Chains A and B, each alone.
Chain A
Amino acid sequence: MVGAKRIDGLLAYGIIYLIFIYAPVLLIVLFSFNNGIYVAFPLKDFTFKWYSDMVHNTGLTKAVGVSLRIAGIVAVVSTVLGVLGAKAVTRYAMPGKAMVTFLIMLPLVIPAIVFGISLLTLIAKVFGIQPGTWSIVCGHVLICVPFSMAVMISRLQGFDKNLEEASLDLGETGWRTFWRVTVPLAMPGIVASFLLCFTTSFDEYQIAAFLSGNDATLPVYIYSQLRFPNRLPGTLALGSCILAISFVIVTFAEWMRRRGTNPDKGLGI
């Protein structure tokens, strides 16, 4: 039967595809519990050694701290800018709107390395400032605002613009309307945008590599450690932890997004 064959072919393709994506990831998890410096079969004893090393590695914990702080600030700033930008684009008629939107979304397709080089030149050479946490925040906000805008525009377009007009009509100012209607209804989008910007900033390497100065972010720190073979299993342990946390965050974000698809089933706020 041709039909059955075709389905079998598709199934095989699907399985190979999944293996291709997830086998390397699972190998990292596997070897992070392996009591040996080299990533090679056969496996040696099972151990938590690399995990305990990781916790006591001050360079690494500092990098985690830097990354978390940057990601947090970037997520807040980008989401606020994204909400305001999306509101302007979806609700107001203004001259040159298409052009403005295009320019805001453009960083999505500009290679991050271009931002890295240009920001480094600007900050270090033109202003003569030592790059560090704040320069990375600037760079990350640049690449995160388009993501946030994209999420928020689709969210704001998803609910009836008469709702905001009804609030104005019932006597609330534009500002109060924003807080009483727009924000509650956009909340699933706001949470999704926050998580998206957070993870984007957290694992961004290129801009951070150019602008980190003395404040190495986690990806920059990990890359610098790969020169030392005995540090490799430690980074595998770290990778496994990040994988687990990312999985939880992404699942949560997706759940929020789905809940938000039907505007009538908002957050119950």
Chain B
Amino acid sequence: MAADESFIAIRNLSKHFGSVKAVDDISFNIRRGEFFSLLGPSGCGKTTLLRILAGFEIPTKGDVLIDGQDMTTVPPHLRPTNMVFQSYAIFPHLDVKQNIAYGLRKTGISKEETERTVNEALEMIKLPGYGNRRADQLSGGQRQRIALARALVCKPKVLLLDEPLGALDKKLREEMQLELRQLQRSVGITFVFVTHDQEEALTMSDRIAVMSRGKVLQIETSSRLYEAPNCREVADFIGTMNFIDGSVAGSENGYAVIDAGPLGSLRAPNAERPFERNRRVTLAVRPEKLRIETAPPGDGTNSVAGKLGAQSYLGDRSHFYVEVPGMTKRIAVASQNATRNLDITDSGDRPVWVSWPVESGVLLPGE
């Protein structure tokens, strides 16, 4: 039995397909009982990493340990893992019962026991009475649940899910997100969940690994990933972010003073990973942390002057885009329409000030 912290241990793992480094020297741990997500853009190596955990791909380099046992070269049928495929892979020549019971044959349990297990599983996925349906008589959501039940009756130590909700429509997907999360809590099995949908990852996961080009950029809880990204790529991938380039000019009251060129002097917290003087940095700040003002704000907050370029009204909130001299991209500002306001007019090139509390900024390494 391994420590709960390193229930799944991935050590210097690489997988190359010819010249493509699908997984490139990755090391991290997954905790026991955790809902762990792999998030990243298409082609970043999520599926490859999952398939290495399942045993379908032999890594080019490195090791995988599950519950303290070296799994690197163990074939898939001997691993304590089960997988829910994106295509669900429901056997079309078998009915629902036979599909769910598929993995029970090798356990050698009796017919009655199998029958009971299958019925319990159908109960769990809220499809009692569907046992005799054939695969082509099921909807996408039902197939997804059956794939889940088929994997869970094998009592795996780890359940691997490759974009299991990708094929469902939006409403069903949100329902299944909740159900899946509840199910994971009740069975207590470690889930490794692949998705390229950041909202899905944020709502469901205990921790998320953000991947890009075969590398893991950051592993964090949802809120820390959103509020404290560790590099520009993560900040850009999760949600919307404004970036202001500059360099560290000094420090004042524990904050770094940033020389942002034409935008003047800005301040930002610099405690977590302190940057030295003269380092190139990027100051990142989320649109919803910004305020738009029609007069220059007082001291104590950061502010930059610009012109209101465009705005869009979305009912519960409005988005403003401010053109700032010296910046190539417009600054995005999101504000809640907390009070009823029928008087929003597009006033064109009005001069405005964008301001935010110093605490709301995040300093990232510059390019």
| Chain A residues with a Cβ under 8 A of chain B | 159-160, 162-163, 165-173, 180-181, 184-185, 263-269
Contact = CB atoms under 8 A, between A and B. Distances in A.
Contacts of A269: 93
Contacts of A267: 93
Interface string B232-249: 000000000000000000
Interface centre among A159, A169, A181, A266 (most CB of B within 10 A): A169
Contacts of B103: 170-172
Contact of A170 (B87, B136, B150): B150
Interface string B28-53: 00000000000000000000000000
Nearest to A164: B89
Interface string B58-91: 0000000000000000011100011101010101
A168 B150 contact: no
16 contacts: A159-B92, A160-B87, A165-B56, A165-B85, A166-B89, A169-B55, A169-B151, A170-B82, A172-B102, A172-B106, A181-B91, A264-B135, A264-B136, A265-B136, A266-B92, A269-B93
A173 B106 CA distance: 10
Contacts of B92: 159, 163, 185, 263-264, 266
A170 B105 CA distance: 10
A182 to B, nearest CB: 11
Nearest to A163: B89
B77 A171 contact: yes
Given A160-B87, A162-B85, A168 B76 contact: yes
Residue in B56, B76, B150 whose Cβ sees the most chain A Cβ within 10 Å: B76
Contacts of B151: 169-170
Given A160-B89, A168-B75, 16 more contacts: A159-B92, A162-B87, A165-B85, A166-B83, A167-B91, A168-B55, A169-B54, A169-B81, A170-B77, A170-B82, A170-B151, A172-B106, A185-B92, A263-B92, A264-B136, A265-B136
A166 B102 CA distance: 10
B154 interface: yes
A163 B135 CA distance: 13
Given A171-B103, A265-B136, A162 B77 contact: no
Contacts of A268: 93
A249 B314 CA distance: 67
Interface in B139-158: 150-151, 154
The prevalent SS among residues of A at the interface is helix
Contacts of B55: 168-169
Contact of B89 (A165, A172, A173, A266): A165
Given A185-B92, A267-B93, A269-B93, A171 B154 contact: yes
The 9 closest A-B pairs by CB, nearest first: A170-B103, A166-B89, A264-B136, A162-B89, A168-B76, A264-B92, A184-B93, A162-B85, A266-B93
Contacts of A163: 89, 91-92
Contacts of B135: 264
Interface string B4-46: 0000000000000000000000000000000000000000000
Nearest to B76: A168
Nearest to B82: A169
Nearest to A161: B89
Interface string B90-122: 011100000000110110000000000000000
A171 B108 CA distance: 12
Contacts of B76: 165, 168-169
A167 B56 contact: no
Contacts of A160: 87, 89
Nearest to B107: A171
B77 A172 contact: yes
Contacts of A180: 102
B77 A169 contact: yes
Residue among B92, B135, B154 with max Cβ neighbours from chain A (10 Å): B92
A127 to B, nearest CB: 43
Contacts of B91: 163, 166-167, 181
Nearest to B135: A264
Given A163-B91, A165-B76, A263-B92, A170 B85 contact: no
Given A160-B87, A172-B77, A185 B154 contact: no
A205 B76 CA distance: 49
A185 B92 CA distance: 8
Contacts of A162: 85, 87, 89
Contacts of A171: 77, 103, 106, 154
B152 to A, nearest CB: 11
Contacts of B136: 264-265
Contact of B102 (A170, A173, A264, A265): A170
A127 B68 CA distance: 60
B79 to A, nearest CB: 8
A181 B75 CA distance: 18
A164 to B, nearest CB: 9
Contacts of A159: 92
A190 B83 CA distance: 30
Given A160-B87, A162-B85, A265-B136, A168 B93 contact: no
Contacts of A263: 92
Contacts of B54: 169
A168 B106 CA distance: 12
A160 B54 CA distance: 18
A165 B55 CA distance: 10
Nearest to B147: A166
B161 to A, nearest CB: 12
Interface in B146-175: 150-151, 154
Contacts of A165: 56, 76, 83, 85, 89
